Amino acid sequence: MLSIGKLGAAAGVKVPTIRYYEQIGLLEAPERSAGNQRLYPASALDRLRFIRHSRELGFPLDAIRELLDLADRPDRPCAAIDAIAARQLAATRARIARLRALEGELQRMLAGCATGRVSDCRVIEVLGDHALCAEDHGATDPEG
C-alpha cells in the first residue's frame, strides 16, 4: 500500500492532482488507515501512470475516462479505443495546423515591422485589426 505522497512521487503526479482525479472519478477512493491517511494499492499506481501519460499525449479527461472504462473490460473489442485515439490524432493535427498558421502570421508581422517608431509598428497595427492577418488563425484553440 502506498501513501498519497509516495503514489504521487512514483507516478510523477502532484498530490492535489491525485485528489482531483479521485474527485472526478478517474481514481477510486482509497482505503484509509487508522490515522485517516489514504492508502493506495499498486493497481492505483498503474492507473495513475496511465492517466498521466494519456494527459501528456493530450487526451481530454472525458476520453481518458472512456479509455479507462474500456481497459477495465479487456474482453471487449478494441475498435472503440482505436476511435478515441483517432479522434485525438485528428485534434492534434488540427492544433498543429493552427500553430503553423499562427507561426506564419507572427513571422509576417515581424517581417513587416520597420523597427522605427511605435506609431509605424506593423505588430501593433496587425494586433489591432484581425482583418490585416493573412490567414484566419482562429481566436481560440478548439481543444481549450
pLDDT in tens, 20-65: 999 999 999 898 888 888 899 999 999 999 999 999 999 999 999 9
Q: Tell me the pLDDT band of 143, cut-offs 50, 70 and 90.
A: very low
In a domain, 66, yes or no: no
Count of structural domains within the chain: 2
Residue 122 lies in domain: 79-132
DSSP conformation class of 91: H
CATH code: domain of residue 10: 1.10.1660.10
Residue 44 shares a structural domain with residue 9: yes
φ, ψ for residue 143, nearest 5 deg: -90, 0
Average pLDDT of span 1-11 = 94
Residue 84 shares a structural domain with residue 126: yes
Distance in angstroms (rounded) separating the CA atoms of residues 10 and 4: 10
pLDDT at 41: 93
In a domain, 142, yes or no: no
Residue 41 shares a structural domain with residue 83: no
pLDDT tens, 81-138?
Answer: 999 999 999 999 999 999 999 999 888 888 877 677 777 777 888 888 888 787 776 6
In a domain, 31, yes or no: yes
In a domain, 113, yes or no: yes
Residue 83 shares a structural domain with residue 128: yes
In a domain, 103, yes or no: yes
pLDDT at 129: 82
pLDDT at 24: 96
DSSP 69-132: HHHT-TTS-SHHHHHHHHHHHHHHHHHHHHHHHHHHHHHHHHHT--SS-GGG-HHHHHHH-GGG
